[in-house]
Amino acid sequence: MQNENLNPTEDIIICRDVHKWFGDFHVLQGVNVTIKRGEVVVVCGPSGGGKSTFIRTINRLEEHQRGDIIVDGIELTSDLRNIHAIQREIGMVFQSFNLFPHLKVIDNVTLAPFWVRKWSKVEAVKVGMELLERVGIPEQADKYPGQLSGGQQQRVAIARALAMQPKIMLFDEPTSALDPEMIKEVLDVMVELARSGMTMIVVTHEMGFAKEVANRIIFFSDGNIVEQNTTEEFFLNPREARTKLFLSQILTH
Amino acid sequence: MAVQSETMKPPRSEVGLLGWLKKNLFSTWYNVLLTIFSAAFIYIVLRAVITWVVRDARWAVVTTNLRVFMIGRYPRDEAGRVLVSLGIIVLMTALTWVFRKAKGKPRRWLVIGWLLSFPLITILLRGFSRESPFLPLVSEDIWSGLLLTLVLAIVGILASFPLGVLLALGRRSKLPIIKVLCTMYIETIRGVPLISVLFMSQLMLPLFLPPEIRLGTVMRALTGMALFSAAYTAENVRGGLASIPIGQYEAARAVGLNEALVMGLIVLPQALRAVIPAIVGQFISLFKDTTLVVIVGLLDLLGIAKAVTAQKEFIGLHKEAYAFTAVIFFICCFTMSYTSRRLEQRLGVGER
């Protein structure tokens, strides 16, 4: 396996022939993809096509049943130590925020660094406040998630994921549950993050965001990658009929 | 907005005592009728009760036997030990109330204080050995009255709660054996009346335990009560666990928490908070169920009331004895219920 990854520091995520079934439903049908360090990849496609399931297999929220997933040199197997090691390196932002409602904003952010990274409380709070400043809401630190707007909650969720200092960030439709006027504040944070050199995989329909920062677009449909290309090529010269159809549907408005 | 509310006052009929009366008691002709009937009913009942309490009742049965009601057969010379124990609890409760908003150090000391007070009180009440000059043994089997009721309830609650949480977690376990065992336990206990569990614990426990360990009647009754209550607590907690959205587990795992931390930091705190009302309801019913220990020969508060009225000079004074008992039960249960409501408010149950 090692000799296959000639440059393991370059390829941070390697998926080879990844399959997954939900019961009889073959949701991932042999996905092959490699993500490079620092790359920003947007995954788009019709709903039900398996794109969310795909990124959720990368941090083991879903278990793949065949094929290999190698994250930063660690292979995802049923070995719990490997799973936790990978989960520590990957931050994830969900469509429905999933903040911990019983904890204050700052505690949401410092929880994992304190309990998993074993930082001191003082250090964790210091880093946590820096992150809240980075996402633009340091003044909300002592509130509970329920007291924040959707856009603010999603920015807290980004700060919470960043607090573990992950090497990779996964975004699962981060703006789909937001009111239109709040989408921009979240996308702004994500653009800043992308420009800082973070490796990002973003499932989204925000094509403006894709055009602005993505290095590569992956079009996902019916359980597999239909087409992938650099951002420019993807929008200018889509090759597959399904891609063209999808683009015509989402870009007409 | 402020200007508007100053210039436009609500109509007079909507505010003040008269407005309230009109709105709530005399709004329609049938509400007027209901109000009059209810007032008459309340008057008749209250008058009868007050007349009985103030004029007819012979409270000597209670005042003469107050010590018996409280501690039953606990030796008169050792009664001070019960008072000291009560003092410890009152002191700790007061300290908890004073430092209720404190965090960090004082809070840690409170927890340590409570943890220490239980073994301390146990030693204080039970003593060492029969010959010991200092704190001679008072076997728990002669504890009775309110003391026994409280001991059964408090120890029962403290023992059944963690057991119930473990059973609830076990019932949701991915390991089939643990799941089946916990489910069987919970369903069996819930399918059986408490009286039979109490009988079984009296008769069967000695058979299961090694012969060196001999539990007294009170300990066996306590075990029965705790095992019984744990099954119900488990079902309540399971309801709380089921109410936690899957996204919480996913988010917790995604930030790198392991299974134990996911449970301990994210899921259980929210689940338990959500079921405070149900759990306190379970504790209240456990408290009242302690009266059933009469059938295994123990004299709890209710048993004492019965025993007291069997004395020659107090024959026929059941009403007074039972009324007194009822008032004490009400005070205890209402306190629990009130505390639970305060706790809910403070922890913000229902706010997500």
Residue B32 domain flag:
no
Sort strands A224-230 and A216-221 into parallel, antiparallel or unpaired: antiparallel
Q: Are residues B102 and B121 in the same domain?
A: yes
Looking from the CA of B50 toward its CB, the CA atoms found within 13 Å total 6
Residue B9 domain flag:
no
- Best mutation target among B255, B265, B346 (most A Cβ atoms within 10 Å) is B255
Task: Check pLDDT > 70 for residue B35.
Answer: yes
Map tokens 């990124």 to a residue.
A55
Task: Check pLDDT > 90 for residue A71.
Answer: yes
> pLDDT digits over B216-258, tens only?
889 999 999 999 999 999 999 999 999 999 999 999 999 999 9
Mean pLDDT for B160-180 is: 95
Q: What is the ipTM of this complex?
A: 0.91
Residue B312 domain flag:
yes
Sign for the pseudo-dihedral over CA of A172, A173, A178, A183: positive
Looking from the CA of A73 toward its CB, the CA atoms found within 13 Å total 8
Q: Are residues B250 and B266 in the same domain?
A: yes
Query: What was the pLDDT predicted at B22?
Result: 81
Q: Are residues B181 and B314 in the same domain?
A: yes
Q: How far is Cα of residue A249 from the mean position of the Cα atoms in its chain? A: 24
Domain count, chain B: 2
Q: Are residues B244 and B166 in the same domain?
A: yes
- Of B138, B162, B188, the residue that ends a domain is B138
Chain A residues 42-101 within an 8 A CB cutoff of chain B: 59-61, 80, 84, 87-88, 90-92, 94, 96, 98-101
Residue B147 dihedral angles phi and psi, to the nearest 5°: -55, -50
Residue B12 domain flag:
no
Looking from the CA of B8 toward its CB, the CA atoms found within 13 Å total 4
Are the beta carbons of A168 and A71 closer than 8 angstroms? Answer: yes
| Interface touch B254/A111, C-beta < 8 Å | no
The band of A1, judged by pLDDT with boundaries at 50, 70 and 90, is very low
Distances (CA, A) of B69 to A93, A245, B139, B301: 61, 84, 18, 6
What is the spatial distance between Cα B240 and Cα B164, in angstroms, rounded to a whole number?
12
What does the DSSP 8-state code read for residue B217?
Answer: H
Separation in Å, CA of B117 to nearest CA in chain A: 30
Q: Are residues B105 and B167 in the same domain?
A: no
- A100 CB neighbours in chain B (<8 A) are 248, 251-252, 266, 270
Separation in Å, CA of A209 to nearest CA in chain B: 24
Q: How far is Cα of residue A217 from the mean position of the Cα atoms in its chain? A: 14
Task: Check pLDDT > 50 for residue A232.
Answer: yes
| Interface touch A160/B255, C-beta < 8 Å | yes
Q: Are residues B191 and B287 in the same domain?
A: yes
| Interface touch A87/B352, C-beta < 8 Å | no
Q: Are residues B155 and B280 in the same domain?
A: yes
Residue B107 domain flag:
yes
Q: For B248, which of A100, A144, A160 is closest by C-beta distance?
A: A100
What is the spatial distance between Cα B90 and Cα A184, in angstroms, rounded to a whole number?
57
Q: Are residues B154 and B130 in the same domain?
A: no
Residue B90 domain flag:
yes
> pLDDT digits over A130-187, tens only?
999 999 999 999 999 999 999 999 999 999 999 999 999 999 999 999 999 999 999 9
Q: Are residues B252 and B319 in the same domain?
A: yes
Which chain B residue has its CA at the smallest distance from A60's CA?
B254
The band of B1, judged by pLDDT with boundaries at 50, 70 and 90, is very low
Q: Are residues B129 and B258 in the same domain?
A: no
- Of B113, B138, B163, the residue that ends a domain is B138
Task: Check pLDDT > 80 for residue B11.
Answer: no
- B264 CB neighbours in chain A (<8 A) are none
Q: Are residues B204 and B246 in the same domain?
A: yes
What is the spatial distance between Cα B180 and Cα B167, in angstroms, rounded to a whole number?
11
Residue B96 domain flag:
yes
Task: Check pLDDT > 70 for residue A240.
Answer: yes
| Residue B121 forms contact with A (CB below 8 Å) | no
Residue B176 domain flag:
yes
- Of B107, B138, B169, the residue that ends a domain is B138
What does the DSSP 8-state code read for residue B266?
Answer: I
The band of A249, judged by pLDDT with boundaries at 50, 70 and 90, is confident
> pLDDT digits over B182-215, tens only?
999 999 999 999 999 999 998 888 888 888 877 8
What's the CATH code of the domain at B158? Answer: 1.10.3720.10
Q: Are residues B126 and B149 in the same domain?
A: no
The band of B105, judged by pLDDT with boundaries at 50, 70 and 90, is confident
- A87 CB neighbours in chain B (<8 A) are 253-256
Query: What was the pLDDT predicted at A3?
Result: 39
The band of A124, judged by pLDDT with boundaries at 50, 70 and 90, is very high
Alpha helices in chain B (DSSP H): 2-7, 16-24, 29-51, 60-64, 66-71, 79-98, 105-126, 145-171, 176-190, 194-208, 217-242, 246-254, 259-261, 268-274, 276-289, 301-308, 318-347
Give me chain B's average pLDDT, please: 88
Range of B105's domain?
Answer: 79-138
| Residue B351 forms contact with A (CB below 8 Å) | yes
Looking from the CA of B60 toward its CB, the CA atoms found within 13 Å total 7
